[in-house]
Amino acid sequence: MTAVKQRILWITEAAAMAALLIALQALTRPAGQYVTGSCVNAVLAAAVLISGLWSGAAVAVLSPFFAFLLGIGPQLLPIVPAIAAGNVVYVFLLHLLAGAKDLPLWRRGLAWLAAALGKFAVLYLMVVQLLCGVLPLKQPQIDLFTAMFSYPQLVTALIGGALGLLLAPAVRRALKR
Protein backbone atom coordinates (compact mmCIF):
# COMPACT_ATOMS: atom_id res chain seq x y z
CA MET A 1 0.00 0.00 0.00
CA THR A 2 1.38 3.41 -0.91
CA ALA A 3 2.04 6.10 1.68
CA VAL A 4 -0.83 8.21 0.35
CA LYS A 5 -3.27 5.30 0.57
CA GLN A 6 -2.08 4.52 4.08
CA ARG A 7 -2.59 8.12 5.13
CA ILE A 8 -6.08 8.19 3.62
CA LEU A 9 -6.92 4.94 5.40
CA TRP A 10 -5.60 6.31 8.70
CA ILE A 11 -7.66 9.51 8.36
CA THR A 12 -10.76 7.54 7.42
CA GLU A 13 -10.42 5.11 10.31
CA ALA A 14 -9.72 7.87 12.84
CA ALA A 15 -12.70 9.87 11.57
CA ALA A 16 -14.98 6.82 11.71
CA MET A 17 -13.88 6.03 15.28
CA ALA A 18 -14.32 9.66 16.35
CA ALA A 19 -17.79 9.75 14.80
CA LEU A 20 -18.72 6.48 16.51
CA LEU A 21 -17.45 7.78 19.84
CA ILE A 22 -19.39 11.05 19.59
CA ALA A 23 -22.55 9.22 18.53
CA LEU A 24 -22.23 6.81 21.46
CA GLN A 25 -21.68 9.71 23.86
CA ALA A 26 -24.83 11.42 22.62
CA LEU A 27 -26.93 8.24 22.62
CA THR A 28 -25.80 6.98 26.03
CA ARG A 29 -25.74 10.31 27.84
CA PRO A 30 -29.11 9.69 29.55
CA ALA A 31 -27.79 6.33 30.86
CA GLY A 32 -25.14 8.05 32.98
CA GLN A 33 -21.39 8.21 33.43
CA TYR A 34 -20.80 4.49 33.83
CA VAL A 35 -22.45 3.55 30.53
CA THR A 36 -21.18 6.53 28.54
CA GLY A 37 -17.67 6.34 29.97
CA SER A 38 -17.46 2.61 29.30
CA CYS A 39 -18.53 3.17 25.69
CA VAL A 40 -15.97 5.96 25.26
CA ASN A 41 -13.18 3.80 26.63
CA ALA A 42 -14.24 0.84 24.48
CA VAL A 43 -13.99 2.98 21.34
CA LEU A 44 -10.65 4.43 22.43
CA ALA A 45 -9.30 0.92 23.07
CA ALA A 46 -10.67 -0.38 19.78
CA ALA A 47 -9.27 2.59 17.85
CA VAL A 48 -5.73 2.08 19.12
CA LEU A 49 -5.79 -1.72 18.91
CA ILE A 50 -7.30 -1.81 15.42
CA SER A 51 -5.89 1.27 13.71
CA GLY A 52 -2.74 2.01 15.69
CA LEU A 53 -1.34 4.61 18.03
CA TRP A 54 -1.89 7.72 15.92
CA SER A 55 -5.50 6.87 15.16
CA GLY A 56 -6.17 6.15 18.82
CA ALA A 57 -4.40 9.34 19.88
CA ALA A 58 -6.33 11.45 17.38
CA VAL A 59 -9.65 10.09 18.65
CA ALA A 60 -8.48 10.47 22.26
CA VAL A 61 -7.67 14.15 21.77
CA LEU A 62 -10.56 15.16 19.53
CA SER A 63 -13.41 13.41 21.32
CA PRO A 64 -13.54 15.52 24.53
CA PHE A 65 -13.46 18.74 22.49
CA PHE A 66 -16.33 17.58 20.27
CA ALA A 67 -18.21 16.37 23.35
CA PHE A 68 -17.76 19.79 24.92
CA LEU A 69 -19.02 21.53 21.78
CA LEU A 70 -22.05 19.23 21.69
CA GLY A 71 -22.85 19.77 25.37
CA ILE A 72 -21.83 16.27 26.44
CA GLY A 73 -19.81 15.96 29.63
CA PRO A 74 -18.48 18.73 31.86
CA GLN A 75 -19.17 22.16 30.43
CA LEU A 76 -16.03 23.72 31.87
CA LEU A 77 -13.45 24.27 29.14
CA PRO A 78 -10.30 23.95 31.31
CA ILE A 79 -11.27 20.36 32.11
CA VAL A 80 -11.45 19.33 28.45
CA PRO A 81 -7.64 19.21 27.88
CA ALA A 82 -7.30 17.17 31.08
CA ILE A 83 -9.79 14.63 29.69
CA ALA A 84 -7.82 14.57 26.42
CA ALA A 85 -4.60 13.95 28.38
CA GLY A 86 -6.19 11.07 30.29
CA ASN A 87 -7.45 9.59 27.03
CA VAL A 88 -4.00 9.86 25.43
CA VAL A 89 -2.36 8.11 28.38
CA TYR A 90 -4.99 5.37 28.07
CA VAL A 91 -4.41 4.72 24.36
CA PHE A 92 -0.63 5.10 24.67
CA LEU A 93 -0.39 2.48 27.42
CA LEU A 94 -2.72 0.11 25.56
CA HIS A 95 -0.63 0.51 22.42
CA LEU A 96 2.66 0.13 24.24
CA LEU A 97 1.64 -2.94 26.21
CA ALA A 98 -1.00 -4.62 24.01
CA GLY A 99 -0.54 -3.20 20.51
CA ALA A 100 1.11 -6.31 19.08
CA LYS A 101 -1.01 -9.09 17.65
CA ASP A 102 -1.46 -12.45 19.35
CA LEU A 103 -0.24 -11.50 22.79
CA PRO A 104 -0.79 -13.90 25.67
CA LEU A 105 -3.78 -13.25 27.89
CA TRP A 106 -1.62 -12.17 30.86
CA ARG A 107 0.05 -9.48 28.74
CA ARG A 108 -3.30 -8.13 27.52
CA GLY A 109 -4.54 -8.18 31.12
CA LEU A 110 -1.50 -6.22 32.26
CA ALA A 111 -2.03 -3.66 29.48
CA TRP A 112 -5.71 -3.36 30.36
CA LEU A 113 -4.97 -2.75 34.02
CA ALA A 114 -2.06 -0.35 33.40
CA ALA A 115 -4.04 1.72 30.88
CA ALA A 116 -7.05 2.01 33.20
CA LEU A 117 -4.89 2.94 36.18
CA GLY A 118 -2.93 5.45 34.09
CA LYS A 119 -6.04 7.20 32.84
CA PHE A 120 -7.56 7.26 36.31
CA ALA A 121 -4.36 8.71 37.81
CA VAL A 122 -4.03 11.44 35.19
CA LEU A 123 -7.66 12.52 35.47
CA TYR A 124 -7.67 12.42 39.26
CA LEU A 125 -4.45 14.40 39.55
CA MET A 126 -5.27 16.94 36.84
CA VAL A 127 -8.94 17.54 37.59
CA VAL A 128 -9.45 16.81 41.28
CA GLN A 129 -6.06 17.73 42.68
CA LEU A 130 -5.02 20.53 40.31
CA LEU A 131 -7.96 22.15 38.52
CA CYS A 132 -10.42 21.95 41.41
CA GLY A 133 -7.82 23.75 43.51
CA VAL A 134 -6.98 26.56 41.09
CA LEU A 135 -10.25 27.24 39.26
CA PRO A 136 -12.80 29.55 40.87
CA LEU A 137 -15.31 26.79 41.62
CA LYS A 138 -18.01 26.62 44.26
CA GLN A 139 -18.03 23.66 46.64
CA PRO A 140 -20.91 21.86 44.85
CA GLN A 141 -18.90 21.98 41.59
CA ILE A 142 -15.79 20.69 43.36
CA ASP A 143 -17.82 17.87 44.88
CA LEU A 144 -19.31 16.99 41.46
CA PHE A 145 -15.94 16.97 39.67
CA THR A 146 -14.37 14.99 42.51
CA ALA A 147 -17.13 12.38 42.18
CA MET A 148 -16.87 12.30 38.38
CA PHE A 149 -13.10 12.15 38.12
CA SER A 150 -12.27 9.69 40.87
CA TYR A 151 -13.04 5.96 40.97
CA PRO A 152 -15.75 6.02 38.24
CA GLN A 153 -12.93 6.78 35.80
CA LEU A 154 -11.16 3.60 36.83
CA VAL A 155 -14.33 1.53 36.58
CA THR A 156 -15.28 2.85 33.12
CA ALA A 157 -11.71 2.49 31.84
CA LEU A 158 -11.66 -1.14 33.01
CA ILE A 159 -15.04 -1.95 31.45
CA GLY A 160 -14.28 -0.15 28.19
CA GLY A 161 -10.80 -1.61 27.95
CA ALA A 162 -12.15 -5.13 28.42
CA LEU A 163 -14.72 -4.54 25.67
CA GLY A 164 -12.10 -3.06 23.34
CA LEU A 165 -9.67 -5.94 23.98
CA LEU A 166 -12.45 -8.43 23.20
CA LEU A 167 -13.65 -6.66 20.05
CA ALA A 168 -10.34 -5.63 18.47
CA PRO A 169 -9.08 -9.10 17.44
CA ALA A 170 -12.36 -9.92 15.69
CA VAL A 171 -12.37 -6.59 13.85
CA ARG A 172 -8.70 -7.01 12.86
CA ARG A 173 -9.48 -10.47 11.49
CA ALA A 174 -12.44 -9.06 9.54
CA LEU A 175 -10.16 -6.34 8.13
CA LYS A 176 -7.48 -8.98 7.40
CA ARG A 177 -4.86 -7.36 9.63
pLDDT digits (tens, 9 = 90+) for 25-41: 999 999 999 999 999 99
Distance CA 154, CA 160 (A): 10
Average pLDDT, rounded, for the chain: 92
CATH annotation of 3-174: 1.10.1760.20
Beta-carbon-side half-sphere exposure of residue 1 (alpha carbons within 13 Å): 8
Mean pLDDT of 20-28: 93
Amino acid identity at 165:
L
Q: Which residues contact 112 (CB under 8 A, 6 or more apart)?
A: 94, 98, 158, 161, 162, 165
The model's pTM is: 0.93
